[in-house]
Structure 1
Amino acid sequence: MAPACHATKPVDSDSLMKWTCVGSGGFGCVYKARHKQWGFDVAVKLLHDDVGNVMPKDAALLQEISHMEKVSCEFVLRVYGTFEGVLPFRGISIERGIVMEFMSRGSVQTLLQDLHGHPPWPLTFRLANQVVLGMNFLHSRKIIHQDLKPSNVLLNDDLHAKLADFGLSRISTSASSCKTTVKVGGSRKYMPPEAFEVSYEPVRAFDIYSYAILLWSLLTGKEPYPLADNSLVALQIPLGQRPSYKDINQEEVEGLKELVDLMKTCWDGNPLKRPNSRECLNVTEDVYSKHRKDIHAAIKHVLTQLESNMSTHNTSGDESNKTQGRMSLNETVNASRIAQAEADVKPEDRISRSAESMNAIAKAKFVDDNRAALIQNTTEVMAIVEELGEMVHRETRADIEAKKTSQEQMRELFLKTFHPGGVAVKAAFYSVLEKHHPELLEKRNVQ
């Protein structure tokens, strides 16, 4: 177990080595690095200079660290300290960030993508319970997370879940008379209907609603409203729109019906009718207890599948991606499974299969090599932005929406997201093109 460290203690760049980018988004970038003295890997989160015009970057960092210190527990990501120093690959400017626990298995979002669906039921129920355990602890400390979603639930080696990303967290207004100027944030697909009101002040019921949509993703293995843009979501959620649960066979396994009933109660349009986190915990603990005996077999099954995918990827000849850790699982599929099924693939599906077999670096290179043609021919820009999620900064989204043509929108996306985001963002863009513009991927060079 990693030793405890005081969050106020600085960690300088000389203490860290083996830097690797493991994620980026609207907030900034997250790097994996090895601490020379401690002897284990840590995550270093660096914010963009502009974090949404809500507050100065240094103030945002201090607020996030403060919240993480208050809610440190088994089900919340640990903070080790503050980072201040010069990155070996980003020039001579001083960077500031947060040094945190590194979660080697990615997030619930990446797990769902890697498995192409929900995990085995015992693991699904444990994850659902551990998210509530983390949320309940936050609420007991009068903290609202305000951005609960699959990408903010991280997984360790044994697939235990911890809540992360407290950049939008705040003191509960239901427990404090203090008023703040912090904007209501979060991903719109996970925001409750009342949050779209101009004068809304977040309370704990915000997280309860977000948990319901997160639970839906866990139970279905899918993303909510995959084709809806932000404006449509903001319009339909207050009118009662929710993800469909008709395809969930509630009789398939014991306890599933109880979780679906909890989900529906948690996303009630009236925040006063939603249960509190302790009431949610009573349900999720009871459901998980019915399957606890099967959890080890479920974890072994999932880890074997993930390692099989990783092994196939690593033997494909791309040695450089070995340093990317679990992130590479999001950018490849089991090559042997593809080969066995290739004879049955329809001609129109071969493009998609071919695209899946490419590694992240090849996808990013394709995007770079075909920049001009992609700007000219990509039309479903806002749908693509929506699927890229937090990789696109909130302010960048607004700038893109303001552009009059798809070409102008794409130029903005390249300039403000793809160029600074690096391989991971470009590879994600390539994968999204498979759904919205497969014709652009028919040839390796669209120019």
Structure 2
Amino acid sequence: MKIFGKLKSKKDSACTKRSNGKVVSVESTDELTADLSRLLIGLKFAQGAHSQLYHGRYKDEPVAVKTTRVPDDTGDGSIGARLEKLFTREVTLLSRLHHPNVVKFKGACRKPPVFCIITEYLSEGSLRAYLHKLGGIIPLPKVISMALDIARGMAFVHSQGVIHRDLKPENILINQDFKLKVADFGIACRDTSCDALADGAGTYRWMAPEMIKSKSCSRKVDVYAFGLILWEMVAGRIPFEGMNPVQVAFAVANKNLRPAIPGDCPAAIKALIQQCWSSQPDTRPEFCQVVKVLEQFEASLASDGNLDKLQSLTCQDHRKGIFHLIQKIAHPCTS
């Protein structure tokens, strides 16, 4: 591993600001300040258009370091302003999200053109990597356990007034104890200001139709994405396989297309998936309701070894059945 040499010098960090000799963070609060003298950077393991992800160690703990560098040729400076805005927003939101199923924020620093965010490192990688490695169907108890981790994390995120906007397997990480955590809040926003910040966010395969159409964006876009993730864990395939992103966007927004649910999927799970990816945001459940329904599924599996009792609620009309179940056991949501 090497010191964060390219981004700092001994006299001044390229990712921090100093005031009267004191290092201050983007929020001017000590808890957000990254002490770069205790940061080591290792190998890069992922990258995007303007950002790179590195293995690292911070205060002797393994971390992931996301660095963003504004391109040199930015014309009117709009790219730099946008990247700094996204960085500030991500730090502000992530630093306030403390939950066992949300990736842990460790620190941040900036000095344009370089920005960095440090989070805990989860050794088992992403849910996408796990599903790819598995290459098949996940046992039902594990599907429910994994879905519960995601739903609990997202229920907390929503309770804090935050919309993720890019929930997908790549942005769900797994630690050594196989606990799943929601990560990458790079395009997240406050639920009171998402419309103004709708800047091409999300990934088409998991994007709700109202986002594709650039309509009003609510927290229910994350519930829609969760429905696709749950489908993916049940089906063992990527949603809309064989279609490119533009084809997916057109089919979802204009033809109300959804992936075919496997015939052997339990009726209760099928009903929950379909309720989550409903074309009408108001009919999608809240994540706190999803948590309670999944807990009911987990309890049924533990006591009976199956979901037969719950399926009796859904066998006649699965959409009405799961809605009834949600209303019966999970409304109103209580902590």
> Which structure 1 residue ranges, 5 or more long, are not aligned?
86-92, 251-255, 294-447
Letter in 2 for 1:63: R
Indicate if the aligned counterparts of 1:83 and 1:98 stay in contact, CA closer than 8 A: yes
2:51 corresponds, among 19, 25, 28, to: 28
Q: CA deviation at 1:117?
A: 2.0
Indicate if the aligned counterparts of 2:66 and 2:116 stay in contact, CA closer than 8 A: yes
Structure with a larger share of its residues in helix: 1
3-state secondary structure, aligned to 1:186: coil
Within a 5 Å distance, the mapping from 1:274-353 to structure 2 comes to 274-291=284-301
Within a 5 Å distance, the mapping from 1:143-182 to structure 2 comes to 143-173=162-192, 180-182=196-198
Residue 243 of structure 1 pairs with residue 259 of structure 2: yes
1:213 corresponds, among 207, 228, 240, to: 228
Distance 1:84 1:69, change over 3 A: closer
3-state secondary structure, aligned to 1:231: helix
Within a 5 Å distance, the mapping from 1:137-148 to structure 2 comes to 137-148=156-167
1:123 corresponds, among 133, 142, 165, to: 142
Structure with a larger share of its residues in strand: 2
Residue 197 of structure 1 pairs with residue 196 of structure 2: no
RMSD: 2.6
- Structure 2 distance, partners of 1:54, 1:290, is 52
3-state secondary structure, aligned to 1:62: helix
Indicate if the aligned counterparts of 1:129 and 1:281 stay in contact, CA closer than 8 A: yes
Deviations 1:195-221 (A, max 9, x none): 1224x1210111111110111111122
Residue 47 of structure 1 pairs with residue 68 of structure 2: yes
Q: CA deviation at 1:128?
A: 0.5
Q: CA deviation at 1:146?
A: 0.5
2:114 corresponds, among 92, 95, 98, to: 95
Residue 72 of structure 1 pairs with residue 87 of structure 2: no
- Structure 1 distance, partners of 2:195, 2:278, is 26
- Structure 2 distance, partners of 1:126, 1:274, is 21
1:271 corresponds, among 278, 281, 305, to: 281
3-state secondary structure, aligned to 2:124: coil
2:203 corresponds, among 187, 191, 198, to: 187
- Structure 1 distance, partners of 2:274, 2:48, is 30
- Structure 1 distance, partners of 2:107, 2:173, is 19
Deviations 1:24-64 (A, max 9, x none): 234521111122xx221111011252699595322211110
Aligned match of 2:243: 228
Deviations 1:124-144 (A, max 9, x none): 211101111011111111110
Distance 1:241 1:182, change over 3 A: closer
Q: CA deviation at 1:292?
A: 6.1
Letter in 1 for 2:246: S
Q: CA deviation at 1:120?
A: 3.0
Distance 1:27 1:233, change over 3 A: farther
Aligned match of 2:132: 113
TM-score by length of 1: 0.56
Distance 1:179 1:128, change over 3 A: closer
Indicate if the aligned counterparts of 1:7 and 1:82 stay in contact, CA closer than 8 A: no
Bigger shift: 282-291 or 186-195? 282-291
Letter in 2 for 1:285: E
- Structure 2 distance, partners of 1:187, 1:286, is 31
Aligned match of 1:442: none
Distance 1:148 1:64, change over 3 A: same
TM-score by length of 2: 0.74
Within a 5 Å distance, the mapping from 1:404-415 to structure 2 comes to none
3-state secondary structure, aligned to 1:70: coil
Q: CA deviation at 1:84?
A: 5.0
Letter in 1 for 2:162: I
Indicate if the aligned counterparts of 1:6 and 1:81 stay in contact, CA closer than 8 A: no
Indicate if the aligned counterparts of 1:118 and 1:124 stay in contact, CA closer than 8 A: no
3-state secondary structure, aligned to 1:61: helix
Identity %: 25
Q: CA deviation at 1:184?
A: 4.4
Number of equivalent positions: 269
- Structure 1 distance, partners of 2:298, 2:66, is 33
Q: CA deviation at 1:179?
A: 5.8
- Structure 1 distance, partners of 2:246, 2:288, is 33
Q: CA deviation at 1:291?
A: 4.7
- Structure 1 distance, partners of 2:51, 2:198, is 19
